A and B are shown apart, each in its own frame.
Chain A
Amino acid sequence: MTASTIPAPLDQARDWLVQTLRAMGFDLAVTASVTEEGPLLHIVDHPDSAMLIGARGQTLDAFQVLANTMFPIEDGERIRVDCGDYRARQQARLAEQVAAAAAEALERQEGVCLSPMHAADRKKVHDLAKEHAGVGTLSVGEDPARAVVISPLDADGKPMPYEGPLPQLPQRGRGGRGPGGRDRDRGRRGGGRDRG
């Protein structure tokens, strides 16, 4: 990767991120590159990187939102922000969740609802589920609690409708407790039914 392939807005976003991290009390290097998946800002790994990543990657996502608001790249490709190997680990975790949910859906012959996710992660789940025979996906709930259900295919090859509880957002962390809730992938007790 040569410097000439780095679009100017990505370079500006890199400088902005370095300054932002410094204002947060982190003196960390950030590299800018254009990968197969698009423009990327990568924060070097750090013992305190959990704080920079945030619960479910929320802080990385916040950097991403602001970087793309302030330094839009002309061809419309969105800048991604990563720290250490967080995104790769997240992708692997997502793949594991999808595999487990697909196996469970086939065994119980009913839809299994994953935890609520952003649109980008839901898209990854829809894609990952295609690798599992005999199941399909549907989305339930309303943003920000919208979630993907992995459901066995019926005789027509369509995912069976989901009749379980609607997904609920995890409790907003007040005091930095762990993610809690053993059953959170199953969705908590939900109110009414969803319109699908």
Chain B
Amino acid sequence: MDPYEALLLHLLTPLVDHPDEVRITLGHERNVLQLLVTVAPGDVGRVIGRSGRTIAALRQIVKAAAQRGGQQVSIELEEAVA
């Protein structure tokens, strides 16, 4: 597993009610590694957090880890289609 995907999964799992429904899809655009996150519909609010604080914290931590590896990452969140 990609190390940033593993880190993000580690961060997301304890945050959500349905950890088995967390999916991360990897993509690349130019030099940026894109992590597309899908969670259960009821978990979207949890992952975003009040005023977006939780998702901002997730992005900051993954960005810090990626900086060390000289990698740029972006994280996008999508609601799972039921």
Question: Which residues of A are interface residues toward B (Cβ below 8 A)?
Answer: 16, 19-20, 23-25, 48, 51-52, 54, 58-59, 61-63, 65-66, 69-70, 176
Cβ 8 A contact of B60, one of A20, A23, A62: A62
Instruction: Return the CB mask of B32-53 against A: 1 if under 8 Å, else 0.
Output: 0000000000000000010001
Q: How far is B24's CA from A6's CA once the two chains are assembled, in angstroms? A: 35
Q: Are B7 and A69 touching (Cβ within 8 A)?
A: no
Looking at chain A's contact residues, is the secondary structure mostly helix, strand, loop, or mixed?
A: helix
Cβ 8 A contact of B61, one of A19, A48, A63, A70: A63
List 11 interface pairs A-B (beta carbons < 8 Å), by A numbering.
A16-B14, A24-B61, A24-B64, A51-B68, A59-B61, A62-B58, A65-B49, A66-B54, A66-B57, A66-B61, A69-B54
Question: Which residues of B are interface residues toward A (Cβ below 8 A)?
Answer: 3, 6-7, 10-11, 14-15, 49, 53-54, 56-58, 60-61, 64-65, 67-69
Q: How far is B50's CA from A99's CA once the two chains are assembled, in angstroms? A: 34
Known pairs A52-B64, A70-B14, A70-B15; list 16 more (Cβ under 8 Å): A23-B7, A23-B10, A23-B65, A24-B64, A24-B68, A51-B67, A58-B60, A59-B60, A59-B64, A61-B57, A61-B60, A62-B56, A65-B56, A66-B11, A66-B57, A69-B15
Q: Are A48 and B7 touching (Cβ within 8 A)?
A: no
A179 to chain B, nearest CB (A): 15
Q: Which residues on B sit within 8 Å (CB–CB) of A63?
A: 57, 61
Q: How far is B68's CA from A176's CA once the two chains are assembled, in angstroms? A: 11
Q: How far is B49's CA from A66's CA once the two chains are assembled, in angstroms? A: 10
Q: How far is B47's CA from A69's CA once the two chains are assembled, in angstroms? A: 10
Q: Which residues on B sit within 8 Å (CB–CB) of A66?
A: 11, 15, 54, 57-58, 61
Q: Which residues on A sit within 8 Å (CB–CB) of B10?
A: 19-20, 23
A139 to chain B, nearest CB (A): 18
